[in-house]
Amino acid sequence: MLYFARWKILLISGSCLLFVLLAIPSFLSDATRKAIPDWLPKHAVNLGLDLQGGSQLLLEIDFDAYVHEQLTNMLDEIRTTFREQKVGYRGLAVADEKVQFTLREDTTADVTKILHDLNPDLTVDKNSDGNYSLTFNDKWQKVSRAQIIDQSLEIVNRRVNESGTKEPIIQRQGDKRILLQVPGLSDPEHLKNLLGRTAKMTFHMVDEAISPQDLSHGVVPPGERVVPYDDRGVKSKDGLVRKYAIKSHVELSGDMLVDAHTAFDGQSGEPTVTFRFNSVGARRFAEITTQNVGKLFAIVLDNKVITAPVIRSPIIGGSGVISGSFTVESANDLSLLLRAGALPAPLKIIEERSVGPSLGADSIAAGTKASIIGIGLVVIFMMAFYGLFGLFADIAMIVNAFMTISLLSLFEATLTLPGIAGIVLTVGMAVDANVLIYERMREEVRNGKSVYAAIEDGFRLAFGTIFDSHVTTLVAALLLYQFGTGTVKGFAVTLAVGIICSLYTAVLVTRLMVVTWLHKTKPKKLPI
């Protein structure tokens, strides 16, 4: 216990120096950090919403809209199946979140079996008048809710991270809500616009035979629907909103896209969006464009036609261009949305909070002041009660603080106000371990042991107690992280990292300083 090999001395000293160097960038301004050469460490601790300001959004998934869309998508399948099975029906439509229809009196087919074969997740209800209503069963709804919130969390994360924000906190709340915190966000309206769009892109053939009068009144044949044109603020000459009659059948879905980027038209210089399909989508795209040369092909995004070009020739490369009245910003946004993927269900912003940078600065100032006062009092206490050994403990405590900050920066963790409290708590626990060691040394001296024996037994016998206390605290921190939310998790992270660093500094760093002093001075009396 009282001997360190040279390589151990170099390893412990070098690690402490390295952790101090890694922590320094966290105390520098952004401009100073950018000036640091790339070969030097420049990672800094990310400040949370309560320290640097930003926005907090509470999003709610519109699961009812998702169910309505799935039921609507089933209508064509039901029509096709009934036609093949020679089932007579009327009034097939979606109403009150159910597919409803009435059988004709001459129908003898087992409709319930036909529908269950079509989709086993359906619940089929029938009344005495031959009226049927279909909806999805509870098992399907439960599984779908879990899948939708998982997909939404992933897509929100992609959209927020790609939009240039830093270290967002994205958490599930309940079975249909998502909490989003974006520290340092300067344009919350832009972020809300990105999150408020489902970004579901589909490709449809256009029915050019519908007259303008029928379009304006929404009169279209079965299997078609009227969709407005996304003019992005540009009105037609007569001031009316342009509309298209498109086939309800989806020729190609946006989930086959693998890439999308902003580009510029070679002739006009206007912003456009280029996209590329996967192998399956490219094959299907080639088939559609080959079979429909000279026809209008609509690209629909969130139930609005963003462009409807004429297919001039077959497109076999698996890529295309979306053009229109784009600005550079709107083209970039569309590219981002297509790359991130479509939300399975719409998101509604039900709560919004903003924290100004001045409030965050006040929190930093208050936290810094509390930390300095707390650490200062600990330094004075340790030196007053334990003299030189108290100074060793204070040095180890400062090393512990630098280690904690450096590890948080390496892990790219987000530091919040409760996180600062976690750091201060671990600083106290760092010297608490030394108090256990020093008091054990005093007890061994009172029992008549020599200085060497007292120091050796102090470190050896106190280690078990120190290890147990640190492990139990670490377990508590892990449980807080597992079951806590928001700032509770931030506190748990800093507490866990600080506890590990505290064990390292108490067992190795302090012991190295004590042993070095012991071999150099060879004291006759314990200085505590």
CATH number for the domain harbouring residue 200:
3.30.1360.200
Q: What confidence score (pLDDT) does residue 239 get?
A: 52
Q: Give the Cα separation of 98 and 453 in Å (integer).
A: 83
Q: Give the Cα separation of 379 and 424 in Å (integer).
A: 13
Q: Give the Cα separation of 46 and 26 in Å (integer).
A: 8
Could you give the C-alpha distances from 467 to 135, 434, 503, in angstroms and in order? 58, 12, 7
Q: Would 513 be classed as within a structural domain?
A: yes
Does 345 lie in the same domain as 208?
A: yes
Does 240 lie in the same domain as 131?
A: no
Q: Give the Cα separation of 231 and 307 in Å (integer).
A: 9
Q: Would 171 be classed as within a structural domain?
A: no
Could you give the C-alpha distances from 510 to 101, 138, 143, 295, 437, in angstroms and in order? 80, 61, 54, 80, 10
Give how many domains the chain has, as a whole number: 3
Q: Would 217 be classed as within a structural domain?
A: yes
Q: Would 100 be classed as within a structural domain?
A: yes
CATH of the domain at 438: 1.20.1640.10
356: burial class by Cβ within 10 Å (0-12, 13-18, 19+)? exposed
Q: What confidence score (pLDDT) does residue 507 get?
A: 83
Q: What confidence score (pLDDT) does residue 237 get?
A: 47
Q: Considering 304, 332, 353, which residue would you say is the last residue of a domain?
A: 353
Structure tokens at 351: 């709560």
Q: Say which amino acid occupies 500.
A: I
Do residues 79 and 92 lie in contact, with contact meaning Cβ atoms separated by under 8 Å?
yes
Q: What is the DSSP string of 227-281?
A: EEB--TT---TTSPPPEEEEESS-SEEGGGEEEEEEEE-TTT--EEEEEEE-HHH
Q: What confidence score (pLDDT) does residue 357 get?
A: 62
Does 238 lie in the same domain as 344?
A: yes
Q: What confidence score (pLDDT) does residue 439 get?
A: 92
CB-based contacts of 264, cutoff 8 Å, min separation 6 = 270, 271, 272
Q: Considering 322, 353, 384, which residue would you say is the last residue of a domain?
A: 353
What per-residue string of b and e applies to 26-65 under the rule 16 or more CB within 10 Å gives b? beeeeeebeeeeeeeebbbbbbbbbbbbbbbbbbbbbbee
Q: What confidence score (pLDDT) does residue 240 get?
A: 59
Q: Would 312 be classed as within a structural domain?
A: yes
Cα angle 350-354-360, degrees, rounded to a multiple of 5: 150
Q: What confidence score (pLDDT) does residue 471 get?
A: 92
Strands 319-322 and 201-205: what pairing? unpaired
Does 440 lie in the same domain as 313?
A: no
Q: Give the Cα separation of 316 and 337 in Å (integer).
A: 25
Does 411 lie in the same domain as 271?
A: no
Q: What is the DSSP string of 2-42?
A: ----HHHHHHHHHHHHHHHHHHGGGGS-HHHHHHS-TTS--
Q: What confidence score (pLDDT) does residue 528 get?
A: 78
Q: Considering 121, 141, 161, which residue would you say is the last residue of a domain?
A: 141
Does 265 lie in the same domain as 123?
A: no
pLDDT in tens, the chain (528 residues): 677 888 999 999 999 999 998 888 888 877 788 788 877 777 788 777 777 777 888 899 999 888 888 888 788 788 888 888 888 888 888 888 899 998 887 666 788 888 888 889 989 888 877 788 999 999 999 998 888 888 888 888 877 876 444 567 788 888 889 988 887 776 678 778 878 777 778 899 999 988 888 888 888 888 888 999 876 544 444 555 688 999 988 888 887 888 888 998 877 888 888 988 888 889 999 999 999 999 999 988 888 888 888 898 888 888 888 877 788 888 888 888 888 777 888 888 888 877 766 666 777 777 778 878 888 888 899 999 999 999 999 999 999 989 998 988 887 777 777 888 888 888 777 888 899 999 999 999 998 898 889 999 999 999 999 999 899 999 999 998 888 766 787 788 888 998 999 889 988 999 999 999 998 988 888 887
Q: Would 154 be classed as within a structural domain?
A: no
Q: What is the DSSP string of 106-171?
A: T--S-HHHHHHHH-TTEEEEE-TTSEEEEEE-HHHHHHHHHHHHHHHHHHHHHHHHHTT--S-EEE
Structure tokens at 447: 């029992």
Q: Would 169 be classed as within a structural domain?
A: no
How many other CB atoms are found less than 10 A from the CB of residue 199?
21
Q: What confidence score (pLDDT) does residue 74 get?
A: 84
Q: What is the per-residue pLDDT across 380-424, written as a single tens digit (0 to 9) for each?
A: 999 999 999 999 999 999 999 899 989 888 877 777 778 888 888
Structure tokens at 305: 């036609």
What sign for the dihedral angle of Cα 152, 153, 158, 159? positive
Q: What confidence score (pLDDT) does residue 186 get?
A: 64
Does 378 lie in the same domain as 296?
A: no
Angle separating helix axes 451-483 and 487-504, nearest 10 degrees: 160
Does 470 lie in the same domain as 428?
A: yes
Q: What is the maximum span of the chain, computed from C-alpha positions, in angstroms?
A: 111
Do residues 389 and 527 lie in contact, with contact meaning Cβ atoms separated by under 8 Å?
yes
Q: What confidence score (pLDDT) does residue 1 get?
A: 61
Does 331 lie in the same domain as 281?
A: yes
Does 116 lie in the same domain as 18?
A: no
Q: Would 253 be classed as within a structural domain?
A: yes
Structure tokens at 406: 């450096």
Query: Which domain range does residue 96 map to?
Result: 63-141
Does 368 lie in the same domain as 513?
A: yes
Does 481 lie in the same domain as 413?
A: yes
Q: What confidence score (pLDDT) does residue 233 get?
A: 43
